[in-house]
Chains A and B, each alone.
Chain A
Amino acid sequence: MMINIPPALILIFGSLLIPFLRGRLRSVYIIGLPLLTFFYVISLSEGISWVFKVLDLELVLKRVDRLSLPFGYIFSLISVIAAIYSLHVKDNLHLVSAFIYAGAALGVVFAGDLATLYVFWEIMALASTLVILTARTKKAISAGMRYLLVHLAGGLLLLGGIVLWFKQTGSLKFDYIGLNYQDLASWLIFLGFGINAAFPILHAWLPDAYPESTETGTVFLSAFTTKTAVYVLARSFYGTELLIYIGALMTAFPIFYAVIENNLRRVLSYSLINQVGFMITGIGIGTQLSLNGTVAHAFCHILYKALLFMSMGAVLYRTGKINATDLGGLYKYMPLTTIFCIVGAASISGVPLTSGFVSKSMIVSAAGEGGMLFIWLTLLFASAGVFHHSGIKIPFFAFFSHDSGLKPKEAPTHMLVAMGIAAFLCVAIGVFPGLLYSILPYPVDYQPYTPAHVIDQTQLLAFSALAFTLLMLSGLYPPEIRCVNLDTDWFYRKATGGFLVLAEKVIAKIDYQIIGEAYEKIFVRGMLALARLSKKIDTSGVDKSYHTLAKGSLKLSEIIKVIQTGKVSDYAFLMIIGLITLLLILVLPMLS
């Protein structure tokens, strides 16, 4: 290989040219750039390069090994597919931020040290926020701001953890960390990763923000943030028992939400958490089979989840509607989109001969082989549940169900091409799993297509479908209703108001009355004397520089004014972030 650069830089710097290109050249470039990245990642061989020594730190920008490579392949591959899907997008800021986001995800995957990882982690957070904000609707902007605040808080936890970790170990090398119950550093890093992985309770940013981006933005979003978190957890926290329970919980609780949710892209967001739950469980089990399963499932999941989001994006693009209550009967007008959606739905459900079947079963088998009865039953329940809402509900309510009267055109050609590629890959992996198995971290000794396994999975799915059919026919199935379903984001969307009341009524009172009074008696008198003295100095020369400073701060505040949303919850959130920062500043010196 003649050229040797971190793959992230191709997308990040390459994307900056997009605004200067027009017409056909721009389209070619938009597809060519991720395609170039993909071929470059394919050509990589294992090894470490781009090592920098800064003081006593060793930064590694490019570490290629059996764990980073499969994530590199799929991240660059999905960038190509999403780029093709985005060809109609005129908004350069949207595209550039999506590409930088994808590039930063590659940066995290190939980072060999925690400092490099952190930098790309934050670029991801900022770029993905822009991907949401550039939907330019009121809902998207407020959801995007909440998303940013959650990820800033997560980034702070991670930063604190990294600093502590460095103080304790003297090394920034990013490898196994492991959860040590007395070790604050490992907890902070764990939680920082956990926010991006959408751990339960910390998950609400995902179904809050993802459905608000554009038809193209959500495709990008669905691929990178949670899966980089899966990657970093697989590298640094494999075999952590707590992850088994966290993962199992993640597979189970979102499917209840998915059943009652009306916005179909929000249904997919909940099922995204459910799917990541399988991967997290696999990391927690920590055997070669389960870790292989996690990587394989991440690979397949990115493809079929993007495919499902693309099909719903096409529906949104053509009809302007995404709620189950507004859709139905579209199969007559968008037959190809319907077929692609069904392929994605079959894959996420794990229908034999699709990709989900050959990857998810590795994790479920690992739980079974480990004799984890309760976990195994939960995963089985989640497998049936995901079929129920992603496998049936999504295609049924969008394309079949009652006729909504909508008569849209079929999706544009470039969207069909992107969906076609993803659908083809879903089936190809399902039929020829050997190719996927050959790129996994450990040698694979697993046979998905045994008669018992095929018939068991077929029964599980077919009888879940029967349950849906009978509940529908009998009218017991909960009707789709226009509504908002409360989730843990309630705590920072509504309860933060209460936090501010507390701040105003209690803390401010203590501050003004008790501290303020004492302050006046003790300090102010002394200060007045001092002030008289300094006034003499002040008027002579300091005044002028003060004016300059004021002008400068006026300019700065004009810039800041733009990000002031005027929303109570955002300010309260900033205060919480401030509190975390303050705690970190207080705690860090104590521990060193």
Chain B
Amino acid sequence: MQQEKKGFFDYQDNVKRFLRGFYLFLVLVVLIDPFIHKHAYFGFDGYPSFYGTFGFVACVLLVLAAKHILRPLVMRREDYYDD
């Protein structure tokens, strides 16, 4: 065991700064995107920021489906199997 430590993320200002940097990065990759030549496989995947949109929507759906559909179906008490 070690001494109690204060880390970078223990300060709210740092968390805010980190998030602000992250959001700025997102804006940048969206702004750059239209200037890059794409090779689309299917057509629609060549639209600007298709991948960003897909990633965001996919993850929100994934989490909500896991939370509201899968969890009620499969979650049991920790000692369910009794072994």
**A contact residues vs B (CB 8 Å cutoff):** 138-139, 142, 255-257, 259-260, 329, 331-333, 368-369, 371, 373, 376, 380-381, 384-385, 388, 400, 403, 407-409, 451-452, 455-469, 471, 476-478, 481-487, 493-494, 567
For the complex formed, measure the closest distance between the CB of B79 and the CB atoms of chain A, giving whole angstroms: 8
Dominant secondary structure of chain A at its interface with chain B: helix
Contact between chains at B70 and A256 (CB < 8 Å): yes
Chain B, Cβ-Cβ closest to A365: B41
Q: Is the Cβ of A332 less than 8 Å from the Cβ of B5?
A: yes
Q: Does B12 belong to the interface (CB within 8 Å)?
A: no
Beta-carbon contact of A476 and B52 below 8 Å: no
Q: Which of B5, B9, B62, B75 contacts A400 (CB 8 A)?
A: B9
8 Å CB contact of A486 from B3, B50, B52, B74: B74
Q: Which residues of B contact A482 (CB under 8 A)?
A: 78
Residue from B7, B32, B41 within 8 A of A368 (CB atoms): B41
- Given A256-B62, A388-B59, A460-B54, A484 and B36 touching (CB < 8 A)? no
List B32-83 residues whose CB lies under 8 Å from chain A: 32-33, 36-39, 41-42, 45, 49-56, 58-60, 62-67, 70-71, 73-81, 83
Q: Which B residues lie within 8 Å of A376 (CB)?
A: 41-42
| Chain B residues packing against A (C-beta within 8 Å) | 1-7, 9-10, 19, 22, 25-26, 29-30, 32-33, 36-39, 41-42, 45, 49-56, 58-60, 62-67, 70-71, 73-81, 83
Given contacts A260-B67, A260-B70, A333-B5, contact A464 B59 (CB under 8 A): yes
Contact A460 B37 (CB under 8 A): no
Tell me whether A329 and B7 are in contact (CB under 8 A).
yes
Contact at A384–B54, with CB atoms within 8 Å? Answer: yes
A373: contacting residue among B29, B42, B78, CB under 8 A = B42
Contacts of B7 in A (CB 8 A): 329, 331-332
Q: Is the CB of A460 within 8 A of B78?
A: no
Find out whether the CB atom of B51 lies under 8 angstroms from the CB atom of A260.
no
Once the chains bind, are A388 and B78 in contact (CB under 8 Å)? no
From A256, A467, A494, give the contact of B55 (CB < 8 A).
A467
Given the interface pairs A142-B83, A369-B41, A467-B60, the reply to whether A462 lies near B29 with Cβ below 8 Å is: yes
Cβ A452 vs Cβ B36 within 8 A: yes
Nearest-CB residue, chain A, relative to B32: A455
Give every chain A residue within 8 A of B30 (Cβ-Cβ).
459
Contacts of A467 in B (CB 8 A): 55-56, 59-60, 63
A-B contact pairs, 6 of them (CB 8 A): A408-B2, A456-B50, A463-B59, A467-B60, A485-B70, A486-B73
Nearest to A334 among chain B residues (CB) is B2
Give min CB distance, B7 to chain A, whole Å.
4
Please classify the interface of chain B as helix (H, G, I), strand (E, B), loop, or mixed, using the class held by over half of its residues.
helix
B66 touches A256 (CB 8 A): yes
Contact B77 A381 (CB under 8 A): no
Which chain A residues border B3 with CB–CB below 8 Å?
Answer: 407
**Judging by beta carbons under 8 Å apart, are A255 and B62 in contact?**
yes
Q: How far is the CB of A483 from chain B (nearest CB, A)?
A: 5
Q: How far is the CA of A260 from the CA of B30 in the complex (A)?
A: 31
**In the complex the two chains form, is A462's CB within 8 Å of B26's CB?**
yes
Residues in B with CB closer than 8 Å to A333 are 2, 5
Contacts of A458 in B (CB 8 A): 29
* Residues of chain B within 8 A of A484, CB atoms compared: 75-81
State in angstroms the CA–CA spacing of A255 and B70 once bound together.
11
Query: A257 and B2: CB pair below 8 A?
Result: no
A368 to B42, CA, bound (A): 8
Which residue of B37, B53, B83 contacts A463 across the interface (Cβ within 8 Å)? B53
Cβ B56 vs Cβ A463 within 8 A: yes
Asked, given contacts A332-B7, A369-B41, A452-B36, whether A466 binds B26 with beta carbons under 8 Å apart, the answer is yes
- Report yes or no: A457 in contact with B51, Cβ–Cβ below 8 A: yes
A386 to chain B, nearest CB (A): 10
Task: Say yes or no: B36 contacts A451, CB within 8 Å.
Answer: yes
Q: How far is the CB of B67 from chain A (nearest CB, A)?
A: 4
- A460-B51, A463-B26 are known contacts. Are A384 and B36 too (CB-CB below 8 A)? no
A459 to B47, CA, bound (A): 13
Given contacts A333-B2, A483-B75, could you give 18 more A-B pairs where the C-beta distance is less than 8 Å?
A259-B63, A260-B71, A331-B7, A380-B54, A385-B59, A451-B37, A456-B38, A458-B29, A462-B26, A463-B51, A464-B55, A464-B58, A466-B56, A467-B55, A467-B59, A484-B76, A486-B74, A486-B75
With A455-B32, A459-B29, A464-B56 already in contact, the answer to whether A407 and B62 are too (CB < 8 A) is: no
Q: Which 8 interchain pairs have the tightest Cβ spacing?
A: A467-B59, A368-B41, A459-B52, A259-B66, A478-B67, A332-B7, A463-B56, A463-B55
Residues of B within 8 A of A380 (CB): 51, 54, 58
Partner of B77, one of A142, A400, A452, A483: A483
B52 touches A460 (CB 8 A): yes
Known contacts A138-B83, A256-B70, A485-B75; decide if A462 and B55 are in contact (CB<8 Å). yes
